[in-house]
Structures are given as C-alpha cells and as structure tokens.
C-alpha cells in the first residue's frame, strides 16, 4: 500500500472530525472557524492523493472561511462582492488546475458552501454544507479518499436527518377544541357591578306598582 495513500486517509479522518463538529456550532463565527480547518485538511488530503484541482479549490475555500470568520467575529455580514469574488476565484483555481471531469465537483461544492457562509442564518449555512458534502462524497469515492467518502456520506445523512427533525419541531400544533381565554374581572369591579344590578332591580320593583296604578286610573278616565 502506498504511503501517500495512508497519509491521505489520515487527513480524511481528521477532516471528517472537524466537519462534523461544525454542525454543532450555533453561530456563523464558530462555524467559519471549523470550516477553515476542514477545508485546509481537504486541500492537504487531495494534494497527497494527487488530485491537484481539488486541492487548489479547497485551498481557496479555506482562505474564504478564514476571511468570513474575522468578519463574523466583528458582527459584520460579508459583502456581496466578497461572495462573487471568492466564487470566481474558486472557479478560476479549478479551471487552472483542471484534470478531468471530477474537477467540477470541488468547484460546485465550494460555490454552494460559499453562498451558505455568506448568509447570517446558521441553518442555511449547515444546509449548504450538507449539499456540498453530498457532491464531494461522490467525488471522493472516485479519487481514492475512501475514508473521507464514508465519513462525508455519514455527515450528510446526519445533516439531512437534523434538518427534518428541526422542521418537525418548528411546526405549531393547534389543539382542536381550543377554548378562548376568559377575561378576569377584578374583585372590586365585581362587587361594584353587583351593587349596581341590585339597585337597578330594586328601583324596578318600586316603579312597577306605581305604573300599574296609573294605568288603571287612565282606563277609568277613558
């Protein structure tokens, strides 16, 4: 077995570990930090395995993640021109070191992940990472990164499962027989209302005989 092949698999193990940890982060700053390490390890793995196109694109991805890390640390969203610039540089690096049709996979994955990192929402970033991992997992199988292929496939499956679980948690369950909340009346207002009702009833009782009497008198006059 070739020594470079073994080293490549070791880099793959380290990269899968850092990539899986990035899913656990709760903000873009920490996410970008772990993606910087992950992309750097990806570049070293591809370089050792002789996939120069993948190494070049992943090197650009590591630089992008590092730049975005410092911006997110300051609480600043990366500018749109940075999104376009890093995407263009990644494409340029892939074309300049083009080897075969599989050279397109890192370019595509890098573009997807770049868009996710450009967003403020960590959920969008993780979804883009899952999509990028699926693309690279297929590429890894054909480029000798077998350990990384297995790990990336597992991470992608975990990412998809997590997205589905989050969607179920965010659904609002409305009960069928939901009663409207009753308005609470203060005790003072209750007693005041009772007194008013009592006084009204009392006044009605007092007026009733008088009314009847006047009615009879009116009838006699007629």
Domain of residue 191, residue span:
186-222
> Is residue 187 very low, low, confident or very high in pLDDT (cuts 50, 70, 90)?
low
Q: What is the pLDDT at residue 193?
A: 73
151 and 48 assigned to the same domain: yes
Contacts of 119-128 with C-beta under 8 Å, sequence gap 24+, read 119/28, 120/28, 120/77, 122/25, 122/26, 122/27, 122/28, 122/31, 123/163, 123/166, 125/28, 125/31, 126/23, 126/31, 126/159, 126/162, 126/163, 127/159, 127/163
Same domain as 66, residue 31: yes
Checking if the pLDDT of 86 tops 90, the result is yes
CA distance 63 to 86: 9
Average pLDDT (39-57) is 93
Q: Tell me: the pLDDT tens digits for 144-168?
A: 888 888 888 887 787 777 777 777 7
Judgement on whether residues 138 and 217 belong to the same structural domain of the protein: no
Res 188: pLDDT: 60
Residues 58 and 159 in one domain: yes
How high is the pLDDT of residue 174? 45
The pTM for the full model equals 0.69
Of residues 209 and 43, more confidence is placed in: 43
The answer to whether residues 79 and 120 belong to one domain is yes
CA–CA separation, 168 and 165 (whole Å): 5
pLDDT for 221 beyond 90: no
Q: Quick check: helix, strand or coil at residue 119? A: coil
- Is the domain of 195 the same as that of 87? no
Q: What is the mean pLDDT of the chain?
A: 81
Q: What percent of the chain has pLDDT over 70?
A: 79
Q: What is the CA radius of gyration of the chain?
A: 36
In whole angstroms, give the CA distance from residue 80 to residue 149: 32
């Amino acid at each position: 077995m070739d020594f470079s092949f073994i080293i490549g698999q070791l880099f793959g193990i380290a990269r899968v570990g850092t990539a899986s940890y990035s899913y656990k982060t709760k903000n873009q700053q920490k996410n970008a930090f772990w993606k910087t390490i992950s992309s750097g390890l990806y570049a070293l793995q591809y370089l050792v395995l002789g996939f120069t196109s993948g190494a070049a694109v992943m090197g650009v991805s590591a630089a992008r993640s590092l730049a975005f890390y410092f911006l997110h640390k300051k609480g600043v969203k990366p500018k749109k021109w940075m999104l376009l610039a890093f995407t263009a540089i990644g494409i340029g690096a892939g074309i300049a070191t083009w080897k075969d049709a599989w050279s397109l996979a890192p370019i595509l994955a890098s573009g997807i992940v770049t868009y996710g990192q450009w967003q403020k929402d960590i959920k969008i970033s993780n979804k883009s990472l899952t999509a990028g991992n699926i693309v690279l997992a297929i590429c890894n199988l054909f480029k000798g990164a077998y350990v990384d292929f297995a790990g990336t496939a597992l991470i992608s499956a975990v990412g998809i499962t997590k997205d589905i679980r989050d969607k179920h948690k965010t659904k609002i369950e409305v009960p069928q027989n939901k009663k409207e909340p009753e308005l609470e009346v203060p005790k003072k207002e209750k007693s005041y209302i009772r007194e008013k009702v009592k006084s009204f009833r009392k006044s009605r009782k007092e007026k009733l005989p008088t009314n009847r009497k006047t009615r009879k008198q009116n009838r006699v006059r007629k």
